[in-house]
Amino acid sequence: MNKNEITERLNKVFRDVFGDDSISVNENTTSADIEDWDSIEHINLIAAVESEFGIRFKMREVSGMKNVGEMMEIISQRG
């Protein structure tokens, strides 16, 4: 799976989780960039990403992610 495929699928997940079709994520996107991205929505987002890509994040990965690029890197490594 290439970076563009991962980005496209992540955009769909983010739009579904946050209910906003205008969201467009990239490697530098952080929680500060999306208005409703709080701790509760973060849990929902992680679960949705895991489901979409058929992976499970480790707790240290989830707590250490600083941006969407780091999430993409983990997905790429496992995909």
Q: Which domains does the chain have, with CATH numbers?
A: 3-78 (1.10.1200.10)
pLDDT exceeds 90 at position 1: no
Place of tokens 């600083």: 66
pLDDT exceeds 80 at position 79: no
Question: Quick one: 56 exposed, middle or buried, by C-beta within 10 A (0-12, 13-18, 19+)?
Answer: exposed
Mean pLDDT, residues 27-38: 96
* Full-model pTM: 0.94
* Predicted confidence (pLDDT) per residue in 36-56, tens digit: 999 999 999 999 999 999 999
